[in-house]
Structure 1
Amino acid sequence: MSEVSEVSWEASVEPDAPVDAAPAQSELDRKINRLFPGVVVRKDLVKAVKGNAIVPSYVLEYLLGQYAASDDEATIQAGIDTVRKILADHYVHRNQSELVKSTIRERGRHRIIDKVTATLNEKDDVYQAEFANLGIKGVLVEPATIKAHPKLLVGGVWCICDIEYFHSDDARVVPWILGSIKPIQLSNFDFEGYLAARREFTTDEWIDLLVQSIGFNPELFGRRAKLIQLVRLIPFVERNYNLVELGPKGTGKSHIFSEFSPHGMLISGGEVTVPKLFVNNANGRIGLVGYWDVVAFDEFAGKKKRADRALVDIMKNYMANKTFSRGVETLGAEASMVFVGNTSHTVPYMLKHSDLFDELPDSYHDSAYLDRLHHYIPGWEVDTIRGEMFSSGYGFVVDYIAEVLKSMRSADYSDRYQQHFTLSSNISTRDRDGIHKTFSGLMKILYPHGEATPEEIEEVLRFAIEGRKRVKDQILRIDSTMADVKFGYLDTGGVWHSVSTLEEDEYPAYYYRERREGTETTADGGEPTPGGSAPTVEAEAPRQPEPVTEPPLFEGHREFQENQRGVSFDTLIIPYLRGAGQITIVDPYIRQFHQARNLMELIEAIARTKDAADEVNVKLLTAENIESADKLRKQLEFLVKIKQGAAAGGINFDVAFDDTIHDRSIVTDAGWRILLGRGLDIFQYVTGDAFDLATKLQAFRQVKAFGITYIREGG
C-alpha cells in the first residue's frame, strides 16, 4: 500500500477526449462479423453515404449490405464508393427530376431509386404508378406486379425501377413505361442459421448487437435503457401489439418506425382517417392495417387535437378484437398499433394534477381505449439523442433484422415463463394479454432460440408486467369503476414478488392518489398504500405541538432501480456523516473524470453541511489505474485537484492506494458503516452542459441500478 499526499505537477482536469469516428474493432465486432458474414454493416457508414439523399436508413443499408457488408477496410471503402455512385446515378432528387426525365428520354431507358405508389384507375381498369421524387404519374403497372407487391397500393414502397420513355401522338397515352420494379427489401434469409449464431452470443453481447443494429452505442446505455429501446421493436415481431410511448421531445420515439423497417408505416396523428387506416366504404379498398405490419402514429399527443369519434370507436374494436367492418363484412388484420407523442410536463406534475396520459386528445383520454394498450414505454427515461450516442460498431443490416422479426410474428413465446413463475390470480384477462404479448415479443427478440435461464426469464417478465401496470394504474385514476389489480407473480417456491413502476418508487406521494374525484391524499406517517388509493386521515381534536425530533436514521438495505431520479448524496449519504470527524471512503474505482467528479461532489456536500469552525478528515482508499502511464497521471491529477478543493472547505483529504481492495464502503468515527454496492459511481452519463440541471443537481440525474446498506456500529 502506498500513500499519496502531494503531486508536484499541475494540469487542467478535463473529461476524456471524444472517441474517434471509426475506432478499432472490438471483440464483439469481430465476433459479429465472424458469425453473421454478409448481413452486418458498420453503422456509421449510413451517414457517410447519405449526403443529401432523403431516403430511409433501410434503403441505404440495403445498398450497403449489397456492397459493404464486410470488416475489411478496403472492401468497405470500395463498397461506399459503389453505393455513392449508385445514389449519384440513380437516386432521384426532387430538384433534379426534370434532368432525370430528360435522361430517360434521351437514353430511352434509365434505372432510378424512388418511392412508388400505385392506384387503381377504375374508369380504365388499369393500375397506375406515381413516383414521389420524379414527379410523374399515370405510369401503367402490370396486375402481376401489384399482386406480388400489394404495399404499392397503401403508402408506397421504395423501389429500384427501370423506366422507359416512348412518346405517342395520342395525348391520352402516358409516355412513361415501367420496365421493371424491385422493392428494396431482402428476398430471403436463413432463419436456422440466425438461431445457430444466436447461441454463440451471451445475452449481454446479443443485447449490445441489437442496440448497435438500431444505431446506438451500447456503452452509453444501461441495461434498463437498452431494454426500453428493444421494446420499440416488439410491434415488428408481435401481431396486433398496441404500444404507447409518451415523453420529452428529441428522444427518438418515431425513428424506429420511420427508418428501421420496410414493414412499418409512420403517419402523422393528424392525418388519420377511417378510409386511410381501415377501409374506404365507397370503393371497398382496405387501408393501412391490411398491408403493413406496424402502423405508427407520430405526434399523437396534444389535448387540443380533434379526433373523429367514429375512428376512435373503430380503433378500439380493432385493438381489442383484431377486426373491423367493411359494410356487412367483418375483416381481420394483424397490424400492430403504435402511438408516440410528446409530453409538456414533468412526471411528478402529471401525477399530482392528472395522470400519465394527460397529453392525449380528449377522445383518446378514455379508459376503454387506454385499456387496449399492452405496454407504456416511459419516454421520460430515454435520453435526448446526442451525437456521441450513435454507434460506429457493427450491427445487422436493418432490412435483414426486419425480415427476421417479421418471420417470427406467427410464433408465440408467451408461455415460456410458466414453468418458473405464476402471475397474480386477480390480474384480469386484458392485463394478462398485455403482459403475455410484451413478454412474448421480448423473448423472441432476446432469446429466439428459446434458451434462457430462470433469472433472464424473470427479468423479461418483470419488465412486461411493469409496462402493463403503468397503463392500468393510470386508468384507475380516470375510471373509478375499474377494479384494483395486484401486479406481481409467484415463483416455484410460492414466494410472492410484487412489481412496481419506476415513477411509483420515485414519487410515492403523488402516485398513490385517492381515486375519488377532487381528492388527493396520501397515507399519514408511513408508506403510501399501493393500488391507486391511499387511506384518508380522520379529523382529530387540536393538540399541543410536540417538540420536533429528528427521525431515526434508516438501518438496513435499500435498492434503487436503473433510471430512477431524485437520488443525491445529500439524502443518501450525508445524514450518516453528520458529526463525524474522520471519514474513510473505500472505492477502488476513482480513476476516470466522472468518478473523480462524484467524489468531489460528496466532499462539497460534506463542506456544505458541517460547522464552518470544524475540520473533517477524509481518507480515500483506492486502486491505481495501471492501464497506462498516461491514465495513471490523469488519475493523480484528479486526486490532487480534489485535495486542493477540499482544503478550502476545511476538509483534510488524503489518499492511499491498495490494488487488492474490491468492496466499497464509507466508515465514520460517528458509528456508521455504509456498504456501497457500486461505490460512488451511481449516476448515469451527464452532459456537462452548464444549462443542464443534471450537471449541477444530482437529483435530476438518472442512476444506475445499485444497492446500499446502512449498519450502525458500536453502542
Structure 2
Amino acid sequence: MGEELALTLDDEHRTEEEKLRADSNGDIDVNADDIAAHEAAQDVQTDLLDKLEAYFAGRFVRKDLTQRIKEGANVPTYVLEFLLGQYANSSDPVIIEQGVQNVKKTLANNYVRPDEAERVKSKIREEGSYTVIDKVSVTLNSKEDRYEAEFANLGIKNVPVDEMFVKNFERLLIGGIWSIVRVQYNHDGSDPFLIQQLVPVQVPSVDMKEVYNARPHFSTDEWIDLILRTIGMEPTQFTTRVKWLLVSRLIPFVENNYNFVELGPRGTGKSHVYKELSPNSILVSGGQTTVANLFFNMARHEVGLVGMWDVVAFDEVAGIKFKDNDGVQIMKDYMASGSFARGRDEIQASAGMVFVGNINQAIDVVLRTSNLFEPFPTVMANDTAFLDRIHNYLPGWEIPKYRPSFFTNGYGLITDYFAEVMRDLRKISYGDAFDEYFTLGKDLNQRDTIAVRKTVSGMIKLLYPDGQFTKDDVAEVLTFAMEMRRRVKEQLKKIGGMEFFDVNFSYIDKATFDEHYVPVPEQGATGLIPEGEGKPGQLYTVARDADQRLSLIKLESQMTAGTGKTSWTGVASNQAAKEGMNTAFNYLRANFGSVNQAIAPSRHDYIVNLTNMNNGATPEEVSLATYVALVSISVGRPVIGGLAILGDFTIGGTIKRLSGLADRLQVARDSGAKRVLLPASATAELPTVPAELMSAFTLMFYGSVEDAAFKALGVKQ
C-alpha cells in the first residue's frame, strides 16, 4: 500500500528515516516546543511505548498529531492516520515533525476542499493529470452501460470508471469511500475527466499473528489503555467503568449482526467512532432511509448498506423514518436472524445495527416518567418485538461530556490498521467463553442468552484477542454483558408488562454453585410515589389510558365553598375520563352520608386534576381514585403514604373486574409504591402474580366504594 501511495501522490515525499533525519535541518522547521511537550508526555508512557515499538513496529502513531492536522482538513480520522502511518510512523520527535509537515503538504497539494474545487479542476486540465484525495461514489448508468463516479468535494460527476475498480472495491457503490485518485483530463472526448488510478484509503490486510503474539506482553489495563488511545481518548481521564463503556462501543466492529443502542446527553462522542474511526462503518445521518438503500434494491438487484458495511449506525434515533411501510418489519427480521427476504431471495448479511441518540432529561426523571427507549420513533419505541432484538443498551448518561483533556497526546495503533484488526476478529467467536465456568440463571430466555453471548464474545475479542483469559476475566465480562442486556429487558418490562417480567439476571458458578445476580445501576432511582403522606386530595392510581397502556396517574384536588360545581382538568376531550369523574362525584353526592355527614357536596365546588406521570394519554379508569380524592379533600385527611389505588366502579357502586393485576402491580412497584389498595375480587388473580412482585407491597383489599375510602385514609370502620 505504501508503494501505491508513493506512486500516486503528486509529492516527492520519502519515508525513510535516514532521509528524514538528513532533512531535519533543512527547509522544514521542527517546532522545539512541540518536541519538548511530546517528550514530557512520552516519559509517562515509556513502558507502553517500548512495547509498541517492540511488538507493533510501524503500526502506531502519536494521536495528537491527528488533531493538529484535522483542524485544517475535514477528512475522517482514518484517512489522516493512513497518511501519518506513511510519513510519521516513529517515536522519534524529529522524524515525527518532519512527517507531519509532509502530511500537511500532501493534504495542501492533494486533498480537495470544496471551496477550491475549480482551482483543482483547472490544475487537472493544465497538467493533464493530477492526484486528489476525495470521497468517491459510483453508480451504474444503465443507458450507457457503464459505471460513473462522483467526487464529493471536487464536484465532478459522470466520470467513467473502469469496472475493475468496482469489482475490487464494491463499497464505491454504497455510500462511497475515501480514495487517492489519479484524475486525467481528456481534451478530445465527450468525457473531460477520466480515472487513471484509484486506491482506497485503508489497509488492505493485516497479519493477526502480530496481534496474537503481542497481546500477552500487555496487561489487561495496558491493553484497554492502548485501545482507548487508538480511538483518540486519554485513559487516565476516565474511571475503569467508563473505560469499559467506551471500549464496548467497538463491539459492533468485531461481532457480526450485533444490535447496539446508546442514548445519552449531547457531547459524549456517541457517533464519533462510527463516522471517523473505520472505513468499514457508515453513519446514516438525518434518519430517513429506504428499504432499497438499507437492505435490497429490487430494481437494480443490489444489496444495500447491510451487505457492504460491517456497521450501519443511525445518528439521532428520533429522526429514523422509513419511506416504506414495511421498513421496520424487515429491520426486525434482519436484526433477529441476519437475513431478510426480498422477492424470492433470502439474503444474508453480517452488518451490525447501531442506534445512537440523545436523552435530554436527567435519567432518574426519564425512569420515573417514561422509559429509556422513549427517544425512538413511536413505531419502534412501542414495538416490543423490535426492542427485544437489541443486544446491548449502553448507558450513555454515564459517559462524561468530552473536554479537551479527554483527547490523548499519547501513542496508539494507526486507526485503519486497528479497523482491519477488528474486521478480522469478526471471523471468530467467543460466545461460549464462559461455558467452562458458569451457567446462566433461569430468568434468561433464548433472546437474552443470545444477547449475552454476543456481548461476551465481542468484549473477549477486544480485550483478549489471543483467546487467553482466566475465570475471573470471564466473570467480569459476563457481568458486564448481563447488565447491558438487562437494561433492555427492564425497559421491555415497563412497556410490555408481565411478558418480560423475568429480569433478575444471574449466573451460577459451576465449581461452587454460588449464584451471582447482576443489577443495573439506574434501577435504584427514586420512585414517583412518595413514602410519606401527601396533601389531602392528592393520591396515585394505576390505570389504562386512552392508548390502552397502563400508566401511573396522579390526582390533585381543591375544594372551595360553592354550590356543587365540578371542574375536571387534565382530561382534555377524553369523554371516558370525564364520565368516570362524574360517576365519582354523583355517587359521592348521593351517598356521602355513609362516609361523613359533614362532607355536603352540594355546598362546595371541586377541582380535580389528572396527570399521567408516564407522559402517556389521558387515563380512563379513574372513578374510584376520583371518589377517594373527593372524600380526602372534603374531610381534610390525606391518604396513607406510599399508596397506589387500583380499581374502578359503576354509578350504582358496583366494583368493576380488575384486569391485568400483575402488570398493574409491576407499574406500581416501578413507581415506588409500598402499599396497594385493590378490590377483594382481585384475589382470584393473585396466583398469576410472581411471588417476588407480590412481596414488594402491603396488599389492602376493599369490598365496597366506601370501604376503599376508609382504608385509603387509614380510618378504622
TM over 0.5: yes
| Mapping of residues 89-238 of structure 1, within 5 Å | 89-168=109-188, 173-238=190-255
When the two structures are aligned, how many residues end up with a matched partner?
522
Whichever residue aligns with residue 143 of structure 2, its letter is: K
How far does residue 525 in structure 1 lie from its aligned partner after superposition?
A: 8.9
Displacement of 1:536 in angstroms is 5.7
Q: CA deviation at 1:235?
A: 0.5
Cα 1:24–1:521, aligned 2, differ >3 Å: closer, same or farther? closer
| Aligned residues of 1:522 and 1:534 also touching (Cα < 8 A) | no
Taking the aligned partners of 1:67 and 1:386, their CA distance within structure 2 comes to 29
Equivalence for 1:610: none
User: Which of 463, 488, 501 lines up with 1:471 in the alignment?
Assistant: 488
Letter in 2 for 1:522: G
Other-structure match for 2:355:
339
SS at match of 2:449: helix
Contact 1:523 1:529 in 2 (8 A): no
Tell me what 2:470 maps to: 453
Contact 1:484 1:531 in 2 (8 A): no
Q: Which amino acid aligns with 1:191?
A: M
Match of 2:422 among 405, 421, 428: 405
**Cα distance, 1:202–1:529 mapped onto 2, change above 3 Å:** farther
Q: What do residues 444-492 of structure 1 show as CA deviations (whole Å, max 9, x unaligned)? A: 0000111112111111000000000000110011112514223010012
Q: For residue 490 of structure 1, what is the aligned residue in structure 2? A: 508
Cα distance change, pair 349–122 in 1 and its aligned pair in 2 (3 A): same
Correspondence for 2:562: none
Match of 1:480 in 2: 497
Take 2:424 and 2:137, find their aligned partners in 1: how far apart are those partners?
A: 25
Checking the alignment, whether the CA contact within 8 Å between 2:230 and 2:413 is kept in structure 1 is yes
Does the CA contact (< 8 Å) of 1:195 and 1:449 recur in 2? yes
- Structure 2 CA distance for aligned equivalents of residues 129 and 23 of structure 1: 47
Q: Is the 8 A contact 1:294 1:336 kept in 2?
A: yes
User: Structure 1 217/399 Cα, relative in aligned 2: closer, same or farther at 3 Å?
Assistant: same
Structure 1's unaligned 5+ residue stretches are 1-18, 546-715
1:374 alignment partner in structure 2: 391
1:507-656 to 2 correspondence within 5 Å?
Answer: 507=526, 515-516=663-664, 519=668, 521-522=671-672, 524=674, 534-535=696-697, 537-538=699-700, 540=711
The aligned amino acid for 2:457 is: S
Distance change in 2, residues 1:22/1:341 (3 Å): farther
Cα distance change on mapping 1:531 and 1:111 into 2, 3 Å: farther
8 Å Cα contact 1:476/1:532 also seen in 2: no
One-letter amino acid of the structure 2 residue matched with residue 152 of structure 1: L
- When residues 510 and 265 of structure 1 are mapped into structure 2, their CA distance, relative to the original with a 3 A threshold, is farther
CA displacement 1:214-265 (0-9 Å, x = unmatched)? 1111011111100100111010100000000011111100000000100000
Normalising to structure 2: TM-score of the pair? 0.70
Amino acid at match of 1:144: M
Give TM-score, length-normalised by structure 1: 0.70
CA distance in 2, matches of 1:510, 1:386: 37
Q: How does 1:256-335 map to 2 (within 5 A)?
A: 256-301=273-318, 308-335=324-351
Q: Per-residue displacement from partner, 1:623-679 (whole Å, max 9, x unpaired)?
A: xxxxxxxxxxxxxxxxxxxxxxxxxxxxxxxxxxxxxxxxxxxxxxxxxxxxxxxxx
2:503 aligned with 1:355: no
Separation of aligned partners in 2, 1:128 and 1:69: 36
Larger radius of gyration: 2
Q: Distance in 1 between matches of 2:234 and 2:453?
A: 29
Partners of 2:323 and 2:299 in 1: CA distance: 21
Change (3 A) 1:136 1:541: closer
Shift of 1:20: 5.6
Residues 17-32 of structure 1: matches in 2 within 5 Å? 23-25=40-42, 26=45, 27-32=47-52
Question: What 5-or-longer segments of structure 2 have no aligned partner?
Answer: 1-35, 531-550, 553-661, 677-689, 702-710
Q: What fraction of aligned residue pairs are identical, expressed as a percent?
A: 44
Check 1:48–1:79 CA distance in 2 against 1; reply closer, same or farther (3 A cut): same
> Higher relative contact order by CA 8 Å / sep ≥ 6: 1 or 2?
1
Match for 1:133: what amino acid?
Answer: N
Letter in 2 for 1:257: Y
Q: Does 1:37 align with 2:199?
A: no
Residue pairs, 1:425-444, within 5 angstroms: 425-444=442-461
Q: CA deviation at 1:523?
A: 5.5
What is the rounded CA distance, in whole Å, between the counterparts of 1:447 and 1:510 in structure 2? 46
RMSD of aligned Cα (Å): 2.6
- Counterpart of 2:326 in 1: which secondary structure? helix
- What is the deviation of 1:199? 0.8
Moved more, 277-286 or 327-336: 277-286
Q: How many angstroms does 1:506 deviate by?
A: 4.6
Are the counterparts in 1 of residues 526 and 672 from structure 2 also a CA contact under 8 Å? no
Whether the aligned pair in 2 keeps the contact of 1:130 and 1:139 (CA below 8 Å) is: yes
| Alpha carbons 1:39, 1:65 under 8 Å: kept | yes
Residues 30 and 218 of structure 1: is their aligned pair in 2 closer, same or farther, counting only changes over 3 Å?
Answer: same
**Closer, same or farther: CA 479–105 of 1 in aligned 2, 3 Å:** same
Aligned mates of 1:193, 1:256 — CA distance in 2: 24
Q: Which structure has the highest helix share of the two?
A: 2
Amino acid at match of 1:334: S
**Matched residue, 1:252:** 269
Change (3 A) 1:51 1:480: closer
Task: Kindly state the Cα deviation for residue 307 of structure 1 after the two structures are TM-superposed.
Answer: 6.9
Structure 1 position 537, deviation (Å): 3.6
